[in-house]
Amino acid sequence: MARVLVTGSADGLGLMAGKLLVEGGHAVTLHARNEERAAHTWREVPQAEDVLVGDFAALSAARAVAARADASGRFDAVIHNAGVGYRWRERRTTEDGLSEVFAVNVLAPYLLTALMERPRRLVWVSSGMHRSARGDLSDLQWERRRWDGSGPYAESKLWDVVLAFAIARRWPDVRSNALEPGWVATRMGGPGAPDDLTLGAVTQVWLATSDDPAATGTGGYFFHQRPASVAPAASDPELQDGLLAACAALTGVTLPAA
């Protein structure tokens, strides 16, 4: 049995992953951004150990979730599933003055990773859209570039892979991998998405708990439990170190050394 934290698990892929984990006999802690969604999550997965509450658009909330999770003991795996999409066309900022897409999709998982006791495994949910992103460290908040919704989202998903690979390189004792669920019918993907929703959640759980040799490596990128092509930039140590430094500067939290 593994103890697993799944962020962004009030609905969609995260909720499906939580249910699969419980069905597999694992101890699962889920997460919702507010109390209303947390109550729904409890109804859907009453076997959960806990449902943590915090809106990752605020750095203070991400810190609070990390502290509460850490206080419950070490997790065997953390699935960084929480994220916001690209269906709005204007740039939205948080109470911290940050791009909401960057705060939720990148800084929140960075903070949880840096502040919590290291799990044995980290699973980062990315997107195939990451391959279209540039990865511009000089404009992480998209203040200079024209905001079009999909571009900032795609770049945030590239940063998730960069973080996964950076952790794999810096923490060799942690299995850190990323995946793309495909274009699936979640609130983010829309009802007409053609890929198999179930397989996206299955891959999250597989990377978090399986003893399959393919799931026990580190620094990998997967689609439906198979290795997939990844943007070459994600494997660039200079880009990895630059993103870690930027996240540390924005949050005031430095990733602990190995």
- Active site residue: 86, 110, 153, 221, which one? 153
Q: Which residue do the tokens 């930027």 mark?
A: 246
Kindly report the length of the chain. 258
Would strands 175-180 and 50-53 be described as parallel, antiparallel, or unpaired? Answer: unpaired
Report the alpha-carbon angle 142-122-216, nearest 5.
135
**What does the alpha-carbon distance between residue 108 and residue 38 come to, in Å, rounded to a whole number?**
18
The H or E element containing residue 31 is strand 27-32
Residues 6 or more apart whose Cβ sits within 8 Å of residue 219 = 164, 165, 168, 169, 176, 177
Residues 6 or more apart whose Cβ sits within 8 Å of residue 68 = 52
To the query of whether residue 157 is one of the catalytic residues in this protein, the response is yes
Name the nearest CA neighbour of 136 among 120, 116, 159: 159
Name the nearest CA neighbour of 14 among 54, 45, 35: 45
Q: Which residues are catalytic?
A: 153, 157
